Amino acid sequence: MYELIPLTENCFYIQSPAKIGLVKLQENKVCLIDSGNDKEAGRKIRQILDANGWQLAAIYNTHSNADHIGGNAYLQKQTGCKVYAPGVECVFTRHPLLEPSFLYGGYPCRDLRHKFLLAPESDAEPLTPEALPEGFSILDLPGHFFDMVGFRTPDDVVYLADCLSSRETLEKYQIGFLYDVASYIQTLEKVKAMSAKMFVPAHAAATENIAALAQANLDKVSEIAEKIVALCREPLCFEVILQKLFAAYDLTMNFEQYVLVGSTVRSYLAWLKDTGRLDVEFQNHMLLWKKS
Protein backbone atom coordinates (compact mmCIF):
# COMPACT_ATOMS: atom_id res chain seq x y z
CA MET A 1 0.00 0.00 0.00
CA TYR A 2 1.18 3.54 -0.84
CA GLU A 3 3.55 2.22 -3.49
CA LEU A 4 4.42 4.64 -6.28
CA ILE A 5 3.43 3.11 -9.64
CA PRO A 6 4.89 4.65 -12.84
CA LEU A 7 2.67 4.98 -15.92
CA THR A 8 4.68 7.25 -18.21
CA GLU A 9 7.81 9.35 -17.82
CA ASN A 10 5.87 11.99 -15.89
CA CYS A 11 2.68 10.30 -14.67
CA PHE A 12 2.30 7.99 -11.67
CA TYR A 13 -0.26 6.89 -9.18
CA ILE A 14 0.10 5.99 -5.52
CA GLN A 15 -1.62 2.71 -4.70
CA SER A 16 -4.03 3.36 -1.83
CA PRO A 17 -7.71 2.70 -0.99
CA ALA A 18 -8.51 5.50 -3.47
CA LYS A 19 -5.69 5.86 -6.00
CA ILE A 20 -3.79 9.15 -5.77
CA GLY A 21 -2.43 10.63 -8.98
CA LEU A 22 1.06 12.16 -9.08
CA VAL A 23 2.37 14.10 -12.07
CA LYS A 24 5.83 15.61 -12.53
CA LEU A 25 5.58 19.22 -13.70
CA GLN A 26 9.27 20.11 -13.68
CA GLU A 27 12.43 18.29 -12.64
CA ASN A 28 11.63 18.59 -8.93
CA LYS A 29 8.03 19.89 -8.86
CA VAL A 30 4.96 17.66 -8.83
CA CYS A 31 1.24 17.91 -8.33
CA LEU A 32 -1.19 15.45 -6.81
CA ILE A 33 -4.62 14.42 -8.00
CA ASP A 34 -6.42 13.89 -4.67
CA SER A 35 -4.66 13.23 -1.38
CA GLY A 36 -6.01 10.06 0.23
CA ASN A 37 -8.29 9.54 3.17
CA ASP A 38 -6.54 10.98 6.22
CA LYS A 39 -3.47 12.51 7.85
CA GLU A 40 -1.68 9.15 7.71
CA ALA A 41 -2.16 9.08 3.93
CA GLY A 42 -0.67 12.57 3.85
CA ARG A 43 2.37 11.34 5.79
CA LYS A 44 2.87 8.43 3.38
CA ILE A 45 2.67 10.83 0.44
CA ARG A 46 5.16 13.17 2.10
CA GLN A 47 7.60 10.26 2.50
CA ILE A 48 7.34 9.53 -1.23
CA LEU A 49 7.92 13.19 -2.07
CA ASP A 50 10.96 13.41 0.20
CA ALA A 51 12.44 10.13 -1.05
CA ASN A 52 12.36 11.43 -4.62
CA GLY A 53 13.40 15.01 -3.85
CA TRP A 54 10.10 16.36 -5.12
CA GLN A 55 8.40 19.59 -4.11
CA LEU A 56 4.58 19.54 -4.00
CA ALA A 57 3.19 22.49 -5.95
CA ALA A 58 -0.55 21.77 -5.79
CA ILE A 59 -3.28 19.25 -5.03
CA TYR A 60 -6.07 19.01 -7.59
CA ASN A 61 -9.10 17.42 -5.95
CA THR A 62 -11.48 15.55 -8.23
CA HIS A 63 -14.31 15.87 -5.70
CA SER A 64 -14.86 16.39 -2.00
CA ASN A 65 -15.51 12.90 -0.60
CA ALA A 66 -13.41 12.41 2.53
CA ASP A 67 -11.33 9.57 1.05
CA HIS A 68 -10.09 11.96 -1.65
CA ILE A 69 -9.40 15.10 0.40
CA GLY A 70 -8.38 13.63 3.76
CA GLY A 71 -4.66 14.31 3.25
CA ASN A 72 -5.13 17.89 2.05
CA ALA A 73 -4.80 19.67 5.39
CA TYR A 74 -1.66 17.80 6.47
CA LEU A 75 0.10 18.26 3.12
CA GLN A 76 -0.92 21.89 2.82
CA LYS A 77 0.44 22.61 6.30
CA GLN A 78 3.67 20.70 5.66
CA THR A 79 4.44 22.00 2.16
CA GLY A 80 2.43 25.20 1.65
CA CYS A 81 0.96 23.73 -1.53
CA LYS A 82 -2.18 25.11 -3.18
CA VAL A 83 -5.38 23.07 -3.11
CA TYR A 84 -7.97 23.33 -5.88
CA ALA A 85 -11.43 21.78 -6.09
CA PRO A 86 -14.21 22.13 -8.70
CA GLY A 87 -17.54 23.92 -8.28
CA VAL A 88 -19.50 23.12 -5.12
CA GLU A 89 -16.84 20.53 -4.27
CA CYS A 90 -14.64 23.47 -3.27
CA VAL A 91 -17.21 24.54 -0.66
CA PHE A 92 -17.45 20.97 0.72
CA THR A 93 -13.64 20.80 0.85
CA ARG A 94 -13.45 24.03 2.82
CA HIS A 95 -16.39 23.00 5.04
CA PRO A 96 -16.28 19.18 5.16
CA LEU A 97 -19.07 18.88 7.76
CA LEU A 98 -21.33 19.40 4.74
CA GLU A 99 -20.65 15.83 3.53
CA PRO A 100 -22.08 13.86 6.49
CA SER A 101 -24.79 16.51 6.90
CA PHE A 102 -25.85 16.07 3.27
CA LEU A 103 -25.77 12.28 3.52
CA TYR A 104 -27.79 12.17 6.72
CA GLY A 105 -30.18 14.98 5.79
CA GLY A 106 -29.56 16.91 9.01
CA TYR A 107 -26.86 17.47 11.59
CA PRO A 108 -24.97 14.14 11.73
CA CYS A 109 -24.71 12.27 15.01
CA ARG A 110 -21.27 11.35 16.36
CA ASP A 111 -21.42 7.95 14.63
CA LEU A 112 -21.15 9.78 11.28
CA ARG A 113 -18.55 12.36 12.27
CA HIS A 114 -15.45 10.27 11.58
CA LYS A 115 -12.62 10.38 9.06
CA PHE A 116 -14.37 8.21 6.48
CA LEU A 117 -17.10 10.83 6.05
CA LEU A 118 -15.58 13.95 7.64
CA ALA A 119 -12.18 15.14 6.45
CA PRO A 120 -10.18 17.96 8.08
CA GLU A 121 -10.85 21.40 6.61
CA SER A 122 -8.43 22.58 3.96
CA ASP A 123 -7.95 25.98 2.33
CA ALA A 124 -9.19 25.09 -1.14
CA GLU A 125 -9.52 27.49 -4.07
CA PRO A 126 -11.90 27.11 -7.02
CA LEU A 127 -10.56 24.90 -9.79
CA THR A 128 -10.43 26.82 -13.06
CA PRO A 129 -8.64 26.08 -16.34
CA GLU A 130 -6.19 28.85 -15.44
CA ALA A 131 -5.20 27.00 -12.25
CA LEU A 132 -4.14 23.88 -14.17
CA PRO A 133 -0.57 23.04 -15.14
CA GLU A 134 0.25 23.56 -18.81
CA GLY A 135 -1.21 20.84 -21.03
CA PHE A 136 -3.73 19.55 -18.48
CA SER A 137 -7.44 19.47 -19.24
CA ILE A 138 -10.45 19.08 -16.96
CA LEU A 139 -12.98 16.32 -17.67
CA ASP A 140 -16.45 16.95 -16.26
CA LEU A 141 -17.61 13.67 -14.65
CA PRO A 142 -20.73 14.48 -12.60
CA GLY A 143 -23.04 11.86 -11.15
CA HIS A 144 -21.09 10.18 -8.38
CA PHE A 145 -20.92 13.55 -6.65
CA PHE A 146 -22.01 17.09 -7.42
CA ASP A 147 -19.27 18.54 -9.65
CA MET A 148 -16.75 15.72 -9.81
CA VAL A 149 -14.04 16.00 -12.47
CA GLY A 150 -11.19 13.99 -13.87
CA PHE A 151 -8.00 15.14 -15.57
CA ARG A 152 -6.16 14.38 -18.81
CA THR A 153 -2.43 15.05 -18.65
CA PRO A 154 -0.04 16.04 -21.45
CA ASP A 155 1.13 12.38 -21.47
CA ASP A 156 -2.47 11.34 -22.34
CA VAL A 157 -3.08 9.70 -18.97
CA VAL A 158 -6.66 10.12 -17.75
CA TYR A 159 -7.41 10.14 -14.03
CA LEU A 160 -11.08 9.17 -13.66
CA ALA A 161 -11.76 9.64 -9.93
CA ASP A 162 -14.86 7.69 -8.76
CA CYS A 163 -16.86 7.58 -11.98
CA LEU A 164 -16.72 3.78 -12.09
CA SER A 165 -15.87 0.82 -9.87
CA SER A 166 -14.07 -2.45 -10.44
CA ARG A 167 -16.13 -5.58 -11.03
CA GLU A 168 -14.95 -6.87 -7.66
CA THR A 169 -16.21 -3.70 -5.94
CA LEU A 170 -19.54 -3.91 -7.75
CA GLU A 171 -19.93 -7.51 -6.62
CA LYS A 172 -18.96 -6.77 -3.01
CA TYR A 173 -20.92 -3.56 -2.40
CA GLN A 174 -23.60 -3.84 -5.12
CA ILE A 175 -25.11 -0.37 -4.61
CA GLY A 176 -22.27 2.11 -5.10
CA PHE A 177 -22.77 5.67 -3.93
CA LEU A 178 -24.43 8.00 -6.48
CA TYR A 179 -25.76 11.53 -6.19
CA ASP A 180 -27.34 12.06 -9.64
CA VAL A 181 -28.27 8.92 -11.58
CA ALA A 182 -29.06 10.68 -14.87
CA SER A 183 -25.73 12.54 -14.87
CA TYR A 184 -23.91 9.37 -13.85
CA ILE A 185 -25.29 7.47 -16.84
CA GLN A 186 -24.24 10.29 -19.17
CA THR A 187 -20.77 10.31 -17.62
CA LEU A 188 -20.36 6.54 -18.07
CA GLU A 189 -21.45 6.78 -21.71
CA LYS A 190 -18.88 9.55 -22.25
CA VAL A 191 -16.13 7.57 -20.52
CA LYS A 192 -17.02 4.44 -22.51
CA ALA A 193 -16.24 6.34 -25.72
CA MET A 194 -12.93 7.78 -24.50
CA SER A 195 -9.48 6.75 -25.61
CA ALA A 196 -6.21 7.43 -23.78
CA LYS A 197 -2.75 6.00 -23.27
CA MET A 198 -3.84 4.93 -19.77
CA PHE A 199 -6.92 5.33 -17.56
CA VAL A 200 -6.59 5.50 -13.78
CA PRO A 201 -9.89 5.00 -11.93
CA ALA A 202 -9.65 5.58 -8.19
CA HIS A 203 -11.30 2.26 -7.35
CA ALA A 204 -10.30 -0.04 -10.20
CA ALA A 205 -7.10 -1.17 -11.89
CA ALA A 206 -5.35 1.17 -14.30
CA THR A 207 -6.10 0.11 -17.85
CA GLU A 208 -5.59 1.07 -21.49
CA ASN A 209 -9.22 0.25 -22.35
CA ILE A 210 -12.03 1.47 -20.10
CA ALA A 211 -15.08 0.70 -22.27
CA ALA A 212 -15.92 -2.77 -20.91
CA LEU A 213 -15.72 -1.64 -17.29
CA ALA A 214 -17.85 1.43 -18.03
CA GLN A 215 -20.48 -0.87 -19.53
CA ALA A 216 -20.37 -3.14 -16.46
CA ASN A 217 -21.11 -0.11 -14.29
CA LEU A 218 -23.96 0.92 -16.59
CA ASP A 219 -25.39 -2.59 -16.36
CA LYS A 220 -25.32 -2.42 -12.55
CA VAL A 221 -27.25 0.87 -12.59
CA SER A 222 -29.92 -0.74 -14.79
CA GLU A 223 -30.08 -3.79 -12.52
CA ILE A 224 -30.62 -1.70 -9.39
CA ALA A 225 -33.24 0.46 -11.09
CA GLU A 226 -35.18 -2.61 -12.23
CA LYS A 227 -35.04 -4.10 -8.75
CA ILE A 228 -36.43 -0.90 -7.20
CA VAL A 229 -39.25 -0.68 -9.73
CA ALA A 230 -40.13 -4.33 -9.09
CA LEU A 231 -40.24 -3.74 -5.33
CA CYS A 232 -42.63 -0.85 -5.84
CA ARG A 233 -45.35 -2.96 -7.46
CA GLU A 234 -47.04 -2.33 -4.13
CA PRO A 235 -46.75 1.14 -2.53
CA LEU A 236 -43.79 1.19 -0.12
CA CYS A 237 -42.19 3.80 2.10
CA PHE A 238 -38.49 4.56 1.69
CA GLU A 239 -37.40 2.64 4.80
CA VAL A 240 -39.07 -0.56 3.60
CA ILE A 241 -37.54 -0.19 0.12
CA LEU A 242 -34.12 0.24 1.73
CA GLN A 243 -34.68 -2.76 3.99
CA LYS A 244 -35.67 -4.95 1.05
CA LEU A 245 -32.64 -3.88 -0.99
CA PHE A 246 -30.27 -4.62 1.88
CA ALA A 247 -31.88 -8.05 2.22
CA ALA A 248 -31.84 -8.75 -1.53
CA TYR A 249 -28.14 -7.89 -1.85
CA ASP A 250 -27.18 -9.35 1.55
CA LEU A 251 -25.69 -6.04 2.72
CA THR A 252 -24.79 -5.21 6.31
CA MET A 253 -26.65 -2.30 7.86
CA ASN A 254 -24.77 0.19 10.02
CA PHE A 255 -24.86 3.98 10.30
CA GLU A 256 -22.36 4.55 7.50
CA GLN A 257 -24.05 2.16 5.08
CA TYR A 258 -27.47 3.52 6.05
CA VAL A 259 -26.55 7.04 4.90
CA LEU A 260 -24.44 6.05 1.88
CA VAL A 261 -26.80 3.47 0.42
CA GLY A 262 -29.85 5.36 1.69
CA SER A 263 -28.81 8.59 -0.04
CA THR A 264 -28.15 6.62 -3.24
CA VAL A 265 -31.53 4.89 -3.13
CA ARG A 266 -33.22 8.28 -2.70
CA SER A 267 -31.39 9.43 -5.83
CA TYR A 268 -32.62 6.37 -7.74
CA LEU A 269 -36.18 7.03 -6.55
CA ALA A 270 -35.99 10.67 -7.68
CA TRP A 271 -34.62 9.65 -11.10
CA LEU A 272 -37.24 6.92 -11.55
CA LYS A 273 -39.97 9.41 -10.68
CA ASP A 274 -38.58 12.05 -13.03
CA THR A 275 -38.44 9.50 -15.86
CA GLY A 276 -42.02 8.38 -15.23
CA ARG A 277 -41.32 4.86 -13.96
CA LEU A 278 -42.37 5.56 -10.37
CA ASP A 279 -44.99 7.73 -8.78
CA VAL A 280 -45.85 8.62 -5.17
CA GLU A 281 -48.88 8.78 -2.97
CA PHE A 282 -49.39 10.08 0.53
CA GLN A 283 -51.18 7.75 2.94
CA ASN A 284 -51.59 8.06 6.70
CA HIS A 285 -49.01 10.87 6.82
CA MET A 286 -46.48 8.75 4.92
CA LEU A 287 -44.88 9.12 1.48
CA LEU A 288 -45.20 5.88 -0.47
CA TRP A 289 -43.42 5.01 -3.73
CA LYS A 290 -45.26 2.97 -6.34
CA LYS A 291 -44.80 1.74 -9.89
CA SER A 292 -46.42 4.05 -12.43
pLDDT tens digit string along 143-157?
999 999 999 999 999
Choices 2.170.130.10, 3.60.15.10, 3.30.70.20, 3.40.50.300: CATH for 4-221: 3.60.15.10
Architecture of domain 231-291: Orthogonal Bundle (1.10)
- pTM check: above 0.95: yes
Report yes or no: 270 and 238 within 8 Å, Cβ to Cβ.
Answer: no
What is each CA distance from 216 to 131, 140, 201, in whole angstroms? Answer: 34, 20, 14
Distance CA 46, CA 22 (A): 12
Q: Where in the chain is the domain with CATH 1.10.10?
A: 231-291
Helix and strand totals (H; E) in the chain: 10, 13
Report yes or no: 96 and 120 within 8 Å, Cβ to Cβ.
Answer: yes
Looking at residue 27, what is its pLDDT? Answer: 85
DSSP string, 206-222: -BS--HHHHHHHHHHHH
Question: What band does 251 get if pLDDT is binned at 50, 70 and 90?
Answer: very high
Q: Where in the chain is the domain with CATH 3.60.15.10?
A: 4-221
Q: How high is the mean pLDDT of the chain?
A: 98
- Once rounded to an integer, what is the mean pLDDT over residues 33-49? 98
| Residue 184 pLDDT > 90 | yes
Residue 49 carries which DSSP code? Answer: H
Tens digit of each residue's pLDDT (9 = 90 or more) over 100-137: 999 999 999 999 999 999 999 999 999 999 999 999 99
What is each CA distance from 132 to 23, 46, 57, 113, in whole angstroms? Answer: 12, 22, 11, 32
Tens digit of each residue's pLDDT (9 = 90 or more) over 220-232: 999 999 999 999 9
Percentage above 90 pLDDT, the chain = 99
Looking at residue 265, what is its pLDDT? Answer: 98
Tens digit of each residue's pLDDT (9 = 90 or more) over 204-247: 999 999 999 999 999 999 999 999 999 999 999 999 999 999 99
Which amino acid is located at 265 in the chain?
A: V
Tens digit of each residue's pLDDT (9 = 90 or more) over 2-32: 999 999 999 999 999 999 999 999 889 999 9
